[in-house]
Structure 1
Amino acid sequence: MDTILWDEESDNYTRRAKDVSDKYLEIKEVLIADSVLDIQSSLKKVPEKILDIGCSFGITIQLMKEHFPSSEFYGIDPGKESIETAQNNNPETNISFQQGYSHNLPYADNSFDVIILSMVLQWIPRKYLIKTIAEIDRVLKTDGIIYIQEFLPNKSITSVSRHNQDVFIFKDDYSSFFVTFPWLKEVLRKVDKIEEGEDQQRCTSIIRKYEIEDVYFLKNASKEKQYD
């Protein structure tokens, strides 16, 4: 069981958001404002570069730039219409949008202080999930953070998109995937909408990337030789 890439679904999402823009943006603004506060509480300094993976029509960046006006923002999304809408809505020179995929990020190593994954990982085809995690780790600076917001089911579940029968949604505790690597540590975790049941409850997680030397301890070579 896998899924097609999210090109079409991304643009469908953008069109639906436009149709209910006022109500949608009001709800989204509250969620993003809370997310910004979560991010700010975990940062030691103002981030130079922020990447929003699965940026859709750019609403997250549009709201976050108010809190980080001196930061450079980058958004990537598979939907052509989504990217065009994002560019039209955010013409500032410190904001860049690009059509592309999470498993093949067109950015240099150690580029970003913050990477945002808001309701994105559930859409990624399973064959690209490990590549996506590797790419995120590659472009994230040491001491940078990953912001994840996803559904939090009690067990791994999948469902079919109501808009496209060829698209599957995979709900899981995605922060646990990242922290299997010892240099990635969860520093904040918050669960919301618990009263709505496991199909709707959501987890906000902030993960920090540490120096390899800070998480691996070098054995004393001379002592080790005693046991050879």
Structure 2
Amino acid sequence: MNTEEKVIEEANKYFERNKNAITDVNEASKNAYLANDFIRKYITSYPGTIKSILEVGCNYGYNLNFLSKQLGVECWGIDPSDKAIEYGNARWKNVNKKVHLAQGISNRLPYNDSEFDVVMVGFLMYVTPREMISDTVLEVNRVLKAGGFLILTDFDTPINYKRSNKHNSGMPVYKEDYAKRFLPMGYSIIEKNSYSHSGDCFNPDVQERVSTQVLYKEELESLYLKA
């Protein structure tokens, strides 16, 4: 079994483990609420600037259903789990025409260059195998427009940690501040919310720190001083 096949298998197992917890009241995560707050404020000041959102690692699209209803924008999602995508497409088919889901891998996104105004990546990077992480970062950057926003949610440790995965010993997890991988590519951090799985505030336990960071992809010409 190659790496991509392992990722698909693990994504299906994740969906199966968690599908019994699927309820209407839980169909939006904290990072989706934070994304909604930011985008709503932004489009109030700059109407018409955000028309499309992509979530990489969308599971069955519950965040996208929430965001499309709140913001009225078209939302796309991609996830390795064919079971999650099948479930999501069936769930939203007749209730939300603005949600578009596809099965796929983060290091090979089936979208055009600069296609999206916002790309969301939530708790994906830390479970991405290291042989796929660089291409995943490049693909996220490729499909996001210059002048667009990357909303990145993951563990947020000051030092990189490799830890065992309690659900799959063959696929360890990697905790780090993933925003740092985008900064050399012309991104600026414009907003950061620190919290943890156990609460809404900063956690002193380094292993439990989580953040949602909003990064702005600078226009290429703005990165250079005019001589």
Normalization by structure 2: what TM-score? 0.86
The answer as to 2:141 corresponding to 1:133 is: no
Which of 190-199 and 97-106 deviates more?
A: 190-199
Q: Which amino acid in structure 2 is aligned with residue 208 of structure 1?
A: Y
2:199 corresponds in structure 1 to none
Structure 2: distance between partners of 1:23 and 1:97 = 19
Structure 2: distance between partners of 1:214 and 1:41 = 23
Aligned residues: 214
CA-based RMSD: 2.1
Unaligned runs of 5+ in 1: 220-228
1:61 corresponds in structure 2 to 64
Cα gap change, 1:211 to 1:32, in 2 (>3 Å): closer
Asked if 2 retains the 8 angstrom alpha-carbon contact of 1:29 and 1:63, the reply is no
Normalization by structure 1: what TM-score? 0.85
Match of 1:117 among 96, 117, 121: 121
2:154 corresponds in structure 1 to 150
The answer as to 2:109 corresponding to 1:105 is: yes
The answer as to 2:182 corresponding to 1:198 is: no
Q: Which amino acid in structure 2 is aligned with residue 155 of structure 1?
A: I
Asked if 2 retains the 8 angstrom alpha-carbon contact of 1:39 and 1:147, the reply is no
> Equivalent residues in 2 for 1:70-109 (5 A)?
71-91=73-93, 92-109=96-113
Percent of matched pairs sharing the same residue: 24
Cα gap change, 1:23 to 1:111, in 2 (>3 Å): closer
Q: How far off is 1:38 after superposition?
A: 2.8
> Larger RCO: Structure 1 or Structure 2 (Cα < 8 Å, ≥ 6 residues apart)?
1
Structure 2: distance between partners of 1:55 and 1:25 = 15
Q: How far off is 1:24 after superposition?
A: 8.0
Q: Which amino acid in structure 1 is aligned with residue 36 of structure 2?
A: V
Match of 1:165 among 169, 192, 199: 169
Q: How far off is 1:177 after superposition?
A: 1.0
Structure 2: distance between partners of 1:155 and 1:95 = 37
